[in-house]
Each structure stands twice: as structure tokens, then as C-alpha cells.
Amino acid sequence: MSEDSGWLTLGSSALTARINPFGAQLSILRDSSGRELLWDGDPAFWNGRAPLLFPIVGTLAGGVYRLAGRSYALSRHGFARRKLFDVLSSSRTEALLRLKADAQTLAVYPFDFHLQVRFQVMGSTLSVTSWVKNPGDAPMPASFGYHPAFRWPLPFGAARAQHAIEFELDEPAPIRRLDAAGLLTPVRHPTPIRARRLLLDDELFKEDVVILDAVRSQALSYGADTGPRLALQFPDTPYLGLWSKPGAPFVCIEPWHGMADPVGFTGAFTDKPGVFMVPPGAQRELRMQVTLLGA
């Protein structure tokens, strides 16, 4: 049995997407000519493709968070990306997957959560909608993030150095960085975005991820000035991470509702940057769309 034999295939005349139920991870995104738009997870650089980040985004100070007088250990970005999701339904254009709390998750995150994710391909757009659901009887704190890695360069003939990200709005706010332990430093750095454009260069990522913690845009496009581009929409997430490794043939464009702990953070989990509260019996919806433009 091949590695991808259990993956779900969705498609239209313009796009094909394949979803791995392990982590509910978007693992392939191709155009109508079969050209690969998504990173392939080559472990020589990074074995992820588009993991879902839950119930935390980023790294915890000391590897633990504090809640109601107890401490719990969680690794970077949480556990959802390493869990097998149930496939609730799957068709030619849409798939619905769900992760529920189990004994393993309750030991590190004491909430009876449901994380439900719907992938839908319509025309040239892939829509991903995630719901963080709280079936319990107490408020539930959580964070969530998307982490898609796109080919850099995109497979349309333009050189890597010709690729840029163009934001919907001006982005004058300073950017943030992480320290060697993966924690958010207090220093604000001048933004490298000029006239809504961020020219992509390996130098940007020598200090790891570029964090926009005051991002104004809810949409952007990525690619070269010539040829097709990718457009992203992220209406429900207040932060954006941009990440690659110098020389790696991918760039991650990551809408987040959460961030790494600040350096020296000792507060409760509910005070962690970007944590939201889901009331009993309620849910939080977080959406992302990827559209292929000009194909």
C-alpha cells in the first residue's frame, strides 16, 4: 500500500487537492496541467506541507502552559498535526474531517474539544473552514493556525527572485521575531514591506519566521509579476507568519489566531497572545481560501 493510498482527492477543472487524514493536512495542490503549487514535504528541508496548528500556535516558554493551578506540556504548534482525523464525509469536491478529544489529548489539554475541518474545491478556489467546538460545560481556551507551504518558485517559469507577496492594504507596522528558543522577543523591527509589496529573499528568513502581529490585510497574493499567482484570504485570523529556510524551495504563508509565548512569559494560558475562548456548547470558525489567479 502506498503512503498516500488513504488520501482524499477533491477537484475541479482548474484545481486538484489531496488531503491526508493524518493531521487533516492538505498535501497536494495542482493546477489543471498537473503543476505542483504546494510543497511536497521533502525532509531534506522540512517534512510538513500544510499542517493545522491546534490547540496552540508556536512555542511555550519552558515547554509548558499553566491553567487552573496546573501545568501542562505541549510541543510546538500542538498535537493536531500528529493525530488521525475521522473522515465524516467525502465527495468529488468536498471533504469533512474531525478530531475529537481522547485520553491522550486530555492529558495535555483538559477539554472535550471537537476540531472539524472542511475542504472544498470550487473552480479555481480551495476553501478551508475549521471549527473549534466546545461540547463541554466550561469555557475552553484555544489557539489555531494554518501553515500552508507553497512552491517557491511557483511552477510557471519565473525565477525565485522575481516572487513577491502583495498585501491587500498598506502594512506599516513593525514586524516581530523569535529568539533561539522560539519565543517572541519584545523588539519591533522595521517592516520590510514597501508599498504593500514584500519582495521574497533568503535574507528575510535568516532569523526564522517573519511575524506580522498587527496585520491590517485579510487578503494577499503571492507569485511573480508575470504568470499565474496565488491569492489567499484569511478573514478570521489577526496574525500572519511568513517562513522559509534559506535556500528552501517553499514559502509558508501562515494565518494564525495565536503566537509563541513572549520571552519570560509566566502567565496563564488564557493570557497567551491570540488565545480565544469558546463558550460551552459554542464554536469558533476560522477560514482560509487559496485561489489560483490567471491560470
* pLDDT score recorded for residue 4: 80
Report yes or no on 2 lying in a domain: no
Q: How confident is the model at residue 1 (pLDDT cuts 50, 70, 90)?
A: very low
Average pLDDT over every residue of 202-221: 97
**Count of domains forming the chain:** 1
Q: Supply φ then ψ for residue 245, to 5 degrees.
A: -115, 140
CATH code for the domain of 259 = 2.70.98.10
Give the structural domain span for 34. 8-293
Report yes or no on 51 lying in a domain: yes
Average pLDDT over every residue of 170-182: 97
Average pLDDT over every residue of 220-229: 96
Report yes or no on 1 lying in a domain: no
Cβ proximity of 109 and 55 under 8 Å: yes
Element (H, E) at 17: strand 15-20
Cα gap 60→263, rounded to integer Å? 10
Cβ proximity of 6 and 84 under 8 Å: no
Give the percent of the chain with pLDDT over 90. 97
Condensed to tens digits (0 to 9), the pLDDT of residues 234-248 reads 999 999 999 999 999
Cα gap 223→227, rounded to integer Å? 8
Cα gap 261→94, rounded to integer Å? 35
- Tell me which residue has cell 480565544: 276
In this model, does residue 197 exceed pLDDT 90?
A: yes
Q: Average pLDDT, whole number, for the chain?
A: 97
* pLDDT score recorded for residue 3: 57
Report yes or no on 257 lying in a domain: yes
3-state helix, strand, coil in the chain (%, to 5): 5, 45, 50
Contacts of 163 (CB under 8 A, 6+ apart): 152, 153, 154, 200, 222, 223, 224, 251
* pLDDT score recorded for residue 5: 75
Identify residue 170 by its one-letter amino acid code.
D
Cβ proximity of 281 and 293 under 8 Å: no
Q: How confident is the model at residue 31 (pLDDT cuts 50, 70, 90)?
A: very high
Average pLDDT over every residue of 47-56: 98
* pLDDT score recorded for residue 204: 97
For residue 60, the 8-state DSSP code is P
Report yes or no on 3 lying in a domain: no
Cα gap 191→210, rounded to integer Å? 10
Q: How confident is the model at residue 295 (pLDDT cuts 50, 70, 90)?
A: confident
Element (H, E) at 208: none
